[in-house]
Structure 1
Amino acid sequence: MEQTIKDKIPTYFVDQQAISKTSLVELIQKDFPNLKESSITVYLSKLKKEGVLKNPSRGKYTLSGKDRFIPVIDTKLKRLYNKIKKDYPFIEFCVWNTLWLNEFMRHQPFKFYTIIELEKDVAQSIFYKLKDQGKTVFIEPDAETFELYIHNSDDVIILKQLVSEAPLAEIENIVIPSLEKLLVDMLIDTNLFGAQQSELEFIYRSAFEKFEISKSKMKRYAHRRNREMEVEHLSNLTLANN
């Protein structure tokens, strides 16, 4: 019975995003007249725990939203993160790879960079540690450095300063930038995100279509980076065209 109700639930939301609990109970009772209201309430609670339904406000139900952005974190990136975490247990930092952006793009870049965003005070120390290990590392590279060295190198690690209060996420005990952060940074860090500049609107549209994105989180971070108007304009443009 529970699976039958679970299969029926999406049909109640075809013409509306949110349904009051009272209306939802009535719709279920119409299809399953032998069910008591108390039993339906138990089923709804189970479906909420399973992630089939959301309860965004008191007395309201919606279908669960889009997926959370969970990129594949490969072994090499995990090892790098854990080594830094071990050596510098009290700093705030995150790691990621530009490969993650490919799923949002039409044209797929063939060069990818490992990015470590970290506190400015430890950048030099970590730079020299990685260099001693034979890594190809750059700190805050400018356009000329990208053109002369980075574009022609493999396995590049780029260190850049982590903006305070940047929105981060934790996946498998590895701290990474949230998708909201990446989308905002993409508008600003045009050297690092050079391959994405010609596809910004397409990337935003793809991201908003595929994943759950908090516009308020983007707005707060964009405000910290003094790019609130540009981010809001591109987000609104993207949503208008969806």
Structure 2
Amino acid sequence: MTNTIENKIPSYFKEHKSISKSDLVKCILKDFPEFKESSINVYLSKLKKAGLLKNPTRGVYALEEKKEFLPNIDSKLKRLFNKIKKDYPFIDFCIWNTVWLNDFMRHQPFKFYTIVELEKDVAQSVFYKLKDQGKSVFLEPDAETFELYIHNSDDVIILKQLVSEAPIVEIENVVIPSLEKLLVDMIIDTDLYAAQQGELDFIYQSAFDKFGINQGKMKRYAHRRNREKEVEKRTNLTLANN
């Protein structure tokens, strides 16, 4: 029920920015006659709580229009992406920079890293190729490596394994992680996201307030990383504060 109605709801608002709750329920019942009206009412309340619907006035619903996450992909990041794409045209990989997370934080880190997440089979080959080009590159660094080398270095590139079926998107011809992926990863990869660990609550709140977050996408990815319960708990706490 959750996914089917959620995917259909935007079509009910194509001709009107807002519609009455009774009309919305009628539209849903027309497409899903097997559902009970009481169940639909409960589900609409959940969508409102999740920030997918808004309730501008009593008895009226509208779509919550939030911005899409479109981080600044600078020329340096594009060049590195295109270089890897040229050398390894058939691999799945994404690229991003930790400076993107500053938009969600109170305290701004002064050190930023370029992250390349790619298939495990080619990670070592990419590592040596970038190393030969004089890049300061690290492959799957552990906590000690971060402490001894990365935290005190500039212009660092970190290579990590890309989890299969991870939510990635293409923007400006560059493949980057979706915001949903970043939110899940920062709960799990505590070494890479060390600067964000003390602000996870604020980061989640900022992300959900500013952008449209696909919770289903987050849930599926968290499940692939075996941290579904932890991510769901933090997401629920965030939504409870909205």
Specify if TM > 0.5: yes
CA distance in 1, matches of 2:21, 2:64: 10
Residues 140-186 of structure 1, C-alpha deviations (whole Å, 9 max, x = no match): 00000000000000000000000000000110110000000000000
Structure 2 counterpart of 1:82: 82
Q: Is the 8 A contact 1:137 1:159 kept in 2?
A: yes
What aligned pairs does 1:1-242 form with structure 2 within 5 A after superposition?
Answer: 20=24, 62-63=62-63, 65-242=65-242
Larger radius of gyration: 1
**Residues 19 and 61 in structure 1, CA contact (< 8 A), matched pair in contact too:** no
Q: How far 1:207 moved relative to its partner?
A: 0.2
* 1:43 corresponding residue in structure 2: none
CA distance in 2, matches of 1:88, 1:167: 20
Cα distance in 2 for partners of 1:113, 1:211 equals: 23
* TM-score normalised by structure 1 residue count: 0.76
- Residues 195 and 19 of structure 1: is their aligned pair in 2 closer, same or farther, counting only changes over 3 Å? farther
Partner Cα separation in structure 1 for residue 86 and residue 152 of structure 2:
31
Give distance in 2, aligned partners of 1:161 and 1:149. 20
Structure 2 residue matching 1:152: 3-state secondary structure: coil
Offset at residue 63 of structure 1 (A): 3.8
**In 1, Cα distance between equivalents of 2:229 and 2:102:** 26
SS of equivalent to 2:73: coil
User: Per-residue deviation at 1:125?
Assistant: 0.7
- Give the length in aligned residue pairs: 195
Q: Which runs of 5+ in 2 are unaligned?
A: 1-15, 28-59
The AA in structure 2 aligned to 1:88 is Y
RMSD: 2.2
Provide the rounded CA distance (Å) in 2 between the counterparts of 1:66 and 1:74: 24
Question: How far does residue 65 in structure 1 lie from its aligned partner after superposition?
Answer: 1.8
Spell out structure 1 runs of 4+ moving beyond 2 A: 16-20, 60-64
Per-residue deviation at 1:62? Answer: 3.4
Structure 1: 5+ residue runs without aligned partners? 1-8, 24-59
